[in-house]
Amino acid sequence: MQSGFYSKISVFFVTATLGVLIMPSLARSQGVDAEAIALKKKAMAAYGNLDLDGAMSKLDEAAAMGAELAPNTVAQIYIGYGVVFVGGHGDNARGQDAFTIARCLDASVSIDPLFSSPEVDMIFKMAQARANQQVCPGLLSNVAYMGNSATGLPSAGPTGGESSIDDLLAAQQQAQQPLPPVQSGMLPPCGNHNSPAQQRKSTELPLMIQIEPAKLATLDRIVLKYAYDGGGTYFEMDMTKGDQGWVTAMLTCDEGQITAFDPGEVTYYIVGYDDLGGQVCGQGSQEQPFTVIMDPGASIVTGLAGMPTPQTCSECPPWDQDCHNGGGSAGSQTPCFSDEECLQGQWCSDAGFCEGDSTGGDGDDGFGMGADSPQKFYIQVMGGTGVGYANTPEAWYIRATYNGGVYDPDEFFAYMIDDGIKRGGWGGVPIRAHVGIVFSSKFSLEIGGRLDISAAWRKQTDVLYCAYANPNENGAINEREQAICDAPRADEPLAFGAWRDAPDPSDENSLPGAVRTTTRSGMKNAWLVNARLKTRFINKGGNQVSFFGGLGYGHLFFAPEVSDVDVDGKKDKVVATPGMINIELGLGYAHYLNKKFGFVVEMPVDIVLGENSSFGLGVDLMLGISFGG
C-alpha cells in the first residue's frame, strides 16, 4: 500500500520537474516564432510601400532565427521572399525557388490575398507542382529550422550588397538532387539536329530534329528536357512526330513558361525512349546541354513549314493582336524607343517593338494601319437603315369628342393638340460618309456625318387653318392656308378647330380649316455631323474589328404613326426631329483587299439631346466601301 503511494509521489515529482524544465523552452520557442512572424508582417508592409530593400532586410532578420523556428513559421518567411522576388523584382526563377522551399516546409502554406497577383499566383502554382520528394530534400538541406541542423542564412555583411538569400538559393541549387543524367557518351545520337545559337528575347523557341524513319519507328517517346538561366531543374516536354522523320517542339509563352521566366539563356537536351521506358538515343545531355542565348537584338528563329509562328511573350491583352504578333517581315519585332528607329511603314508600339508592314525602299513613309490597308488616310461611304425612338415636344393632333360623342365627319370635326411624341419608329434610309486620318495600327480620327434621305418623301398629316378666321394661340395664318380654305380638294375634310384643352365648338377662338396630308421635307433636320475616334482591337492582314466613339451636332428624323387625323380609319404619321447634341458609339468591321480598297460594315448607335428636353436614339446597320492611301 505504502509502496504504491510512494510510486505515485515519485511520478508526480518527475512530471513536475520536467514541466519546469520544458515549459520555459516551449514558451521561448513560441515567443521567437511570434517575433519572426511580426518581422515578416513588417517586411510585407514595406513591400506594400514599395520599399523592397526594407522588405528584404526584415525577411533576412526573421530567417536568421531559423534554428529556433517551427517549419511552418520558416515557410511563411519564404512565402514573403517569393512575393518580393516575383512581385517586386520580377525575378521569377528565385521567386519559384523560395515558394518551393515554403511548400516543402508546409504543404498548407499559401499567399496572402493582399499580395496576390496573376504572375505571383502562376509562379506559386508552378512551385506547388515542383515541391516533391525528389526536389525537397536538396532544397531544405541548407534551410535552418527547428529540428534541422542547417546553419541557415548567413548574416548580411556590413558593406551591404545583395540580400543574403541569394547565397542560400545558389547553394540550394547546387544541393538539389539532379535528375538522372543522360550519358551522351553511351547513347547514340537520335538523328540530325541543328541547335539555334540565338533567339530573340521574350520570343517562343521552336526546336526540331530529323530522325531516320526506321529508327523513329522504334521510339515510343522523344522528350525535350530544358532549363532556364542555368537553373538546376529541367522541365520536360514531349516532342511531336511529323512527316519525313521530323520531330518538333515549341517552347511557348504559357506551357513553355517563356512569359513566366523571360530567360536570358535556354539550355536543353533531347532523349529518345523505347516502349519499355528505356533510353535509346540522345542529343546532348544534362552535363553537356545545348545553349540558346535569348538576345533582344537577335533575328526571330522560325520552325518548319506548318509550325506555328513564334509569338512574342509579353503581358498582352487578349484582344491586342499586334502585341501578340511576333512574326511578320524582317524587323517587325525590333526593339525601339521611337518611330525613327523602325523601318519605313512601321511605328514604335507601346510595347517597345517596331510593328506594322515594312515597305522597304518603295518610298511609302505612311504611318501604317496594317499590311493590307490604307497607311495614311481613308474615306468611307455607306448606306443602310435602322430603327430608333423619339421623345420630343413637337405638337400633333388627335380627334376630339364633344359631349361623349365624335363630331360628325360629314359636317366638321374638332382636334386637340397633344404636346409631345414618345414613339419608336423606322430609322429611315441614312447615308454616311467619313474621312479618317491614320495615327497608328490601333487609332485613327474620323470626321463625317449622316443624312437621312427618306426625309425628302416622308409625309405628315396636318390641320391647316383658314386665314379669314380670327387667329388664336395656335399660331399665325399664312397665304398658303388661305388658299386651302378657299378651294379645298374633295379629299380634304373640313376641320372645326383645335384646342390644347377640352374642345368647345362655341369657343370664339375656334378656327375652321382643312386637313391635308403633305410632304413635310425634313432634310434640314435630318442630318448630323461628328468627329469620332476609332480604335482597332483586331488588326491582322486585311481584317479589322474596331470600336468607335465621338461627339457632334445634328438631328435624327422619324415619322411614327400616332393617330387617325383625316378620319379614314388608318393612323396617320407625324414628323419628329429630336436632337442637337450628338453622342455616337459603335462597332465596325473592315476587310481590305489591298492598301487602297476594302469593304466596311458598321453598327453605330446615336444618342441626340436637344432643346426643350427632346431625346432621340437611333441604331443603324450600314454597309459600304472604303478607299484611301
> 234, 263, 295: which is the final residue of a domain?
295
Amino acid 161: pLDDT: 38
> 234, 261, 295: which is the final residue of a domain?
295
Render pLDDT for 403-443 as a digit per residue (tens, 0 to 9).
445 555 554 555 555 667 888 888 889 999 999 998 887 88
Q: How far is CA 476 from the centre of its chain?
A: 60
Residue 265 domain flag: yes
Which strands make up the sheet holding 246-251, listed edge to edge? 205-210, 246-251, 240-241
Query: How many helices and strands (H and E) does the chain possess?
Result: 11, 29
SS3 call for 214: helix
Report the percent of the chain where pLDDT is more than 70.
65
- Both 82 and 142 in one domain: the answer is yes
Q: Are strands 494-499 and 413-418 parallel, antiparallel or unpaired?
A: parallel
- Both 203 and 262 in one domain: the answer is yes
What whole-number distance in Å separates Cα of residue 200 and Cα of residue 293? 8
Render pLDDT for 111-135 as a digit per residue (tens, 0 to 9).
888 888 877 887 887 777 777 776 7
Render pLDDT for 244-294 as a digit per residue (tens, 0 to 9).
888 999 999 888 888 888 888 999 999 999 888 888 899 988 888 999 999
- Identify which of 221-235, 365-379, 472-486 has the greatest average pLDDT: 221-235
Residue 7 domain flag: no
SS3 call for 172: helix
Residue 187 domain flag: no
- Both 519 and 590 in one domain: the answer is yes
- Identify which of 27-41, 87-101, 147-161, 332-346 has the greatest average pLDDT: 87-101
Amino acid 418: pLDDT: 61
By residue count, the chain amounts to: 629
Amino acid 298: pLDDT: 85
Q: How many CA atoms lie within 13 A of 552 on its CB side?
A: 24
What whole-number distance in Å separates Cα of residue 506 and Cα of residue 279? 112
Report the percent of the chain where pLDDT is more than 90.
20
369: its cell numbers: 494601319
What whole-number distance in Å separates Cα of residue 358 and Cα of residue 343? 6
Residue 227 domain flag: yes
Residue 329 domain flag: no
- Both 104 and 237 in one domain: the answer is no
- How distant, in Å, are the alpha carbons of 40, 285, 350, 371 from that of 359? 56, 44, 21, 9
- Both 467 and 525 in one domain: the answer is yes
- Both 202 and 167 in one domain: the answer is no
- Identify which of 83-87, 184-188, 501-505 has the greatest average pLDDT: 83-87
What whole-number distance in Å separates Cα of residue 73 and Cα of residue 32? 10
Query: Which stretch of DSSP H or E encloses residue 237?
Result: strand 235-238
Stretch among 224-233, 287-296, 501-510, 550-559 having the lowest mean pLDDT: 501-510
Residue 264 domain flag: yes
Q: Would you give the end-to-end CA distance of the chain in angstroms?
A: 114
SS3 call for 327: coil
Do 97 and 169 touch, CB atoms closer than 8 A? yes
- Both 139 and 235 in one domain: the answer is no
- Both 213 and 133 in one domain: the answer is no
The answer to whether residue 394 scores a pLDDT higher than 60 is: yes
Amino acid 119: pLDDT: 78
DSSP assigned state of 276: T
The answer to whether residue 368 scores a pLDDT higher than 80 is: no
Phi, psi (5° rounding) for residue 625?
-125, 160
Query: Which comes out higher in pLDDT, residue 337 or 22?
Result: 337
- Both 448 and 519 in one domain: the answer is yes
Confidence class for position 1, pLDDT limits 50, 70, 90: very low
Q: How many CA atoms lie within 13 A of 222 on its CB side?
A: 26
CATH number at residue 258: 2.60.40.10
The answer to whether residue 173 scores a pLDDT higher than 80 is: no
Residue 328 domain flag: no
Residue range 348-353: average pLDDT?
59
Query: Which comes out higher in pLDDT, residue 478 or 614?
Result: 614
> 295, 322, 356: which is the final residue of a domain?
295
- Both 264 and 171 in one domain: the answer is no
- How distant, in Å, are the alpha carbons of 101, 127, 437 from that of 59? 15, 20, 55
Render pLDDT for 85-117 as a digit per residue (tens, 0 to 9).
888 888 887 888 888 889 888 888 888 888 888
Q: For residue 315, give the nearest of 370, 367, 259, 268 by alpha carbon.
A: 259
Other Cβ atoms closer than 10 A to 234:
18
Amino acid 226: pLDDT: 92
- Which pTM does this prediction carry? 0.41
What whole-number distance in Å separates Cα of residue 85 and Cα of residue 56? 9
SS3 call for 602: strand
Residue 323 domain flag: no
Confidence class for position 155, pLDDT limits 50, 70, 90: very low
What whole-number distance in Å separates Cα of residue 540 and Cα of residue 306? 19
Other Cβ atoms closer than 10 A to 351:
18
CA triple 493-498-499, angle to 5 deg:
160
- Amino acid identity of residue 247, one-letter, is V
Domain extent for 459: 377-628
What whole-number distance in Å separates Cα of residue 499 and Cα of residue 474? 8
The answer to whether residue 556 scores a pLDDT higher than 60 is: yes
CATH number at residue 499: 2.40.160.20
DSSP assigned state of 115: G
DSSP assigned state of 360: T
Amino acid 523: pLDDT: 76
Question: Domain total for the chain?
Answer: 3
Q: Which residues of 369-399 are buried (b: 16+ CB within 10 A; e: fewer)?
A: bbbbbbbbbbbbebebebebbbbbebebbeb
CA triple 155-160-166, angle to 5 deg:
60
- Both 570 and 433 in one domain: the answer is yes
- Both 164 and 203 in one domain: the answer is no
Confidence class for position 455, pLDDT limits 50, 70, 90: confident
What whole-number distance in Å separates Cα of residue 89 and Cα of residue 265? 19
The answer to whether residue 227 scores a pLDDT higher than 70 is: yes
The answer to whether residue 158 scores a pLDDT higher than 50 is: no
127: its cell numbers: 512551385
DSSP assigned state of 255: T
Do 496 and 522 touch, CB atoms closer than 8 A? no
Confidence class for position 342, pLDDT limits 50, 70, 90: low
DSSP 437-505: EE-SSSEEEEEEEEEEGGGGT-EEEEEEE-TTSPP-TT----HHHHHHHHS--TT--EEEEEESSS--T
